Amino acid sequence: MMITIIAIIFGAMIGSFLNVCIHRLPKEESIVSPRSHCPYCNTPIKFYDNIPILSFILLGAKCRHCKKPISIQYPIVEGLTAFSSFLIILKFGVSISYLFYFFFVCSLITITVIDLYHQIIPDVISLPGIGIGILASVLTPYLSFYESLIGIICGGGSLFLVATLYQWLFKREGMGGGDVKLLAMIGAFLGWKSVFITIILSSLIGSIAGVILIALKGKDFKYAIPFGPFLSIGAAISLFYQNEIIYWYLRFKG
């Protein structure tokens, strides 16, 4: 129980840092300095006003100084990261696997929010993530080095092929290079089997989201829906339920 509580608190603290990354990486600003400050009045945030989730509640979702509203994004990211840490500690226990796959999920959370806001996936996350995924395959028992390597090829290669064919057929870009690198990172961490599970799940979830948006906004609704968040959701599901999904599929096929 104590280890679980520590994992949750640690996750919330890292979630606070992820909010800094989400805010600064698209602007190509340093994530180290200056210290956290209000985006409206630029007043540095005191440590007692920077407690994950709790400070948001105690401050009434407003800056202590200028009284401007604090985005709901902050407690959501902190809470989601804390919950992810909880799930990962349950799956991997106190181990090096926990550190690697917590980093992986944190990367997915950061990429998801940035892609939703800016429709970009920073290379500074996905490219180092590929290397760290390969390292994880060497140092953890979750998958082998060759599964990781094939996962990178299948992940990056499959989306690159789809993007190339789409652009050739429709004479416009349908999928960015960021999605290709993201799926390569997913393949590095989870292996080639999870790449195909991720593609299927993300396509299904993305299609459902698209239908809902069209139903709400009307047939004339035109918006480039970023695919990164759906890839991230599919990868997270695959991380926790890959074996169960494969088992269900094999039973379904008889």
Q: Is residue 236 exposed (0-12), middle (13-18) or buried (19+ Cβ within 10 Å)? A: buried
Q: Of 82, 198, 192, nearest to 143 (Cα)? A: 192
Residue 14: its pLDDT value, please?
97
Whole-prediction pTM value? Answer: 0.91
DSSP state of 60: T
Residue 62: strand pairing partners: 69
Reply yes or no on whether the pLDDT at 95 is more than 90: yes
Q: What percent of the chain has pLDDT over 70?
A: 94
Q: Which tokens belong to 77?
A: 């990211």
Contact predicate 98/88, CB 8 Å: yes
Please state the separation of Cα 216 from the chain's center in Å: 26
Summarised one tens digit per residue, pLDDT across range 116-132 is 999 999 999 999 999 99
With bands split at pLDDT 50, 70 and 90, how would you rate the model's confidence at 33?
Answer: confident
- Residue at 203: amino acid letter: S
pLDDT, mean of residues 85-108: 96
Whether omega for the bond prior to residue 34 falls within 30 degrees of 0, making it cis, is yes
Task: Round the average pLDDT of the chain to a whole number and report it.
Answer: 90
Q: What percent of the chain has pLDDT over 90?
A: 63
The domain segmentation of the chain, as residue ranges, is 1-94, 122-254
pLDDT, mean of residues 143-171: 84
With bands split at pLDDT 50, 70 and 90, how would you rate the model's confidence at 221?
Answer: low
